[in-house]
Amino acid sequence: MLSTCHLLNDLIQSLLPAIYPLLKENFALSFAQIGLITLTFQLTASLLQPLVGIYTDRHPLPYSLVIGMACTLCGLLLLAHAPTFPVLLLAAALVGSGSSVFHPESSRVARMASGGQHGLAQSVFQVGGNLGSALGPLLAAYLVMPRGQTSVEWFAIAALVAMVLLTRIGRWYGTHLSAHRAAQAAAKAGSRLPRRTIVMTLVVLGLLIFSKYFYLASISSYYTFYLMERFKLDAQAAQLHLFVFLGAVAAGTLAGGPIGDRIGRKYVIWGSILGVLPFTLLLPHANLMWTSLLSVLIGLILSSAFAAILVYAQELVPGRTGVIAGLFFGFAFGMGGLGAAVLGALADHIGIEAVYAICAWLPAIGLLAWFLPQMETSRRR
């Protein structure tokens, strides 16, 4: 149910970048303004998520998920009827605020329902979001682009369905709350790593998140424009390529968690971020066929890292599930938003193809995974 709600939530959120070509035409937007819309959405999500996690770690709110989805619904309806650019920014902020509640709280409930297979649980939860992100551009291409901006309001049905499911999840959350608190207290009591090691490791994980989401921002926000400019595709054909890439992201997300459960999360993190480097370096020089193939490989490999990073961080700081989930989801969203804004402004000056050539080097930051402690060994001790 959480994965289904994640699908519906991220489907709604992915409509925003998917209809950028339509908004660009309707409002005569520059690339910098498109980046500002993404930045507004990502910052409202990223800045509020850690605060939500801190508060709900101390004062759990089982029905907060429903409230967050109601906020997303309001932003969606406002997006459908926005008359001006400032109203577009407000709609993006409302959708981002709903996301700030949904992600840390639903990640906590996924861990509660994991039965000890934390990587698998996070992957199953996150793959719903990836599928929703993949479906958004596809539905936008065939439902929104031909009918115009107001047709976005039909996706309010998805938000209403999610609110019904989240009400049921909130009830389950409330009945299992006491057991969850006892498990958190036991995990916190078993923590052994020195504070300095924890801080250093969180910094390294943050840099890896920066690398991953700055690069993903170049794909999710500007891939359609890149294909339209470089290969002269129309908007619908470009969005189909984006759908294929996001489908590969969903498949990689589902694989990363259980693989981390079996072989260790550090190896998944290392292989995911650094392992994608050869393909990102080749992408700016490829023809259309190889661009499609390389984008699939990049999506599969790079997306396998996040579930492993999140569970690794939750084991690094046991008993603070909400704070860690909020911090990492928030930081990921923030880096995505900052990346969209920076890369959009850069694309206005040097061109979108040059931006892809520069971003190709970002996965080299994956070398920092060498400094991550081996958590499985620490847990056995």
How many residues would you count in the chain?
A: 381
Contacts of residue 49, Cβ cutoff 8 Å, sequence gap at least 6:
99, 100, 103, 104, 325, 326, 327, 329, 330, 333
pLDDT at 233 (0 to 100)? 85
pLDDT at 380 (0 to 100)? 44
C-alpha–C-alpha distance, residues 153 and 177, integer Å: 36
CB atoms within 10 A of CB 380: 7
Task: Map tokens 């790593």 to a residue.
Answer: 193
b/e string for 291-305 if b means 16 or more Cβ within 10 A?
bbebbbbbbbbbbbb
pLDDT at 279 (0 to 100)? 92
pLDDT at 366 (0 to 100)? 84
Supply angle C-alpha 49, 53, 58, rounded to 5. 155
C-alpha–C-alpha distance, residues 212 and 216, integer Å: 6
CA-based nearest residue to 246, from 265, 223, 228? 223
What is residue 86's three-state secondary structure? helix
pLDDT at 379 (0 to 100)? 47
CB atoms within 10 A of CB 79: 25
pLDDT at 189 (0 to 100)? 55
Cβ proximity of 25 and 151 under 8 Å: no
pTM of the model: 0.72
End-to-end CA distance of the chain: 35
pLDDT at 3 (0 to 100)? 93
What's the structural domain count of the chain? 1
Cβ proximity of 280 and 215 under 8 Å: yes
CB atoms within 10 A of CB 288: 13
Contacts of residue 377, Cβ cutoff 8 Å, sequence gap at least 6:
none
Cβ proximity of 327 and 47 under 8 Å: no
pLDDT at 188 (0 to 100)? 59
Whichever domain contains 242, its CATH number is 1.20.1250.20
Residues in the chain where the model's pLDDT stays below 70: 179-192, 333, 337, 375-381
What is residue 25's three-state secondary structure? helix
Cβ proximity of 2 and 112 under 8 Å: no
pLDDT at 7 (0 to 100)? 93
Backbone phi, then psi, for 336, in 5-degree steps?
-65, -45
Q: How far is CA 359 from CA 131, 205, 299, 370, in A?
A: 25, 19, 15, 22
Identity of the residue numbered 361: W
Rounded to 10°, the helix 352-359/195-231 angle is 150
Domain that includes residue 142, residue range: 2-380
